[in-house]
Amino acid sequence: MIVLKSKKELEIMREAGKITAGALCAVQEQIQPGVTTAYLNRVAEEYIMRYNAIPAFKGYNGFPASICASVNAQVVHGFPNDIPLKEGDIISIDIGAFYKGYCGDAARTFPVGNISDEAAALIKTTKESFFEGLKYARLGYRLSDISHAIQSYVEARGFSVVKSFVGHGIGQNMHEDPQVPNYGLPGMGPRLRPGMTLAIEPMVNLGTDEVEILADGWTVLTRDRRLSAHYENTVAITDGDPLILTSEG
């Protein structure tokens, strides 16, 4: 069941989103060669708790950390660890925060120092594909119109979208109905209505779209071990333009 949010609920979700976005910015400021993802996890957790919010990921189905830190060929759900980041790496940081009972969820992929042209193009395309999908996050469209726009944009640039993992509804629970794939035919799924809140999150690979999960049960890697990037925001459907709840402003 898709839960439509009231104006008051959306105001709270906007606050949760600001905290989530702020935590991402705090982490971004610390990313450089030699830094560990365990340290970045502490930065994010301290930021979230400073604003009287709760890290959404920590303890979720046993997940051990407050951020997902996915380096290079890791697609999503990477565990923070004590391995230093290296010049030329790319790192996807996914953060969620509960505030007053509502969740914000967002992700970005960042360069570590100077990166290759193909890695930069991958990050750029992943971000841009989110905004292509966002054009259809409004009244008059169906859910899969977002999905189709993302896939079309990504594949036209020679990359692939991950199909094994998708976006989701969000609110009082981090994962709610509906699922939001990053692929598919247009004109399918529920009609978009004001009050719907969606975590739209393209996951884009340099090579194959096929992935595998490590023995830890969480970390997802590209099967060909080529690079992957991730870009996510929590978005509210309104009577007009979609509202990005996890923007910094």
What is the distance, to the nearest Å, from the Cα of residue 222 to the centroid of all Cα atoms in its chain? 17
Domain boundaries, the chain: 7-244
Largest Cα–Cα distance of the chain, in whole Å? 48
> Which residues, 6+ apart, have CB-to-CB distance to 147 below 8 Å?
133, 180, 181, 182, 183, 184, 189
CA-CA distance, 52 to 17, in Å (whole number)?
A: 13
Coil/strand/helix, residue 126: helix
- Going residue by residue through the chain, which has 249 residues, state the pLDDT in tens, using 9 for 90 and above: 999 999 999 999 999 999 999 999 999 999 999 999 999 999 999 999 999 999 999 999 999 999 999 999 999 999 999 999 999 999 999 999 999 999 999 999 999 999 999 999 999 999 999 999 999 999 999 999 999 999 999 999 999 999 999 999 999 999 999 999 999 999 999 999 999 999 999 999 999 999 999 999 999 999 999 999 999 999 999 999 999 999 976
Q: DSSP character for 190?
A: P
Establish whether the linkage from the previous residue to 55 is cis, with ω within 30° of 0: no
Coil/strand/helix, residue 142: strand
CATH class given for the domain over 7-244 = alpha beta
Whole-structure pTM value: 0.97
pLDDT at position 248, please?
77
> Which residues, 6+ apart, have CB-to-CB distance to 88 below 8 Å?
112, 113, 114, 115, 116, 119
pLDDT at position 249, please?
62
Q: How many residues does the chain have?
A: 249
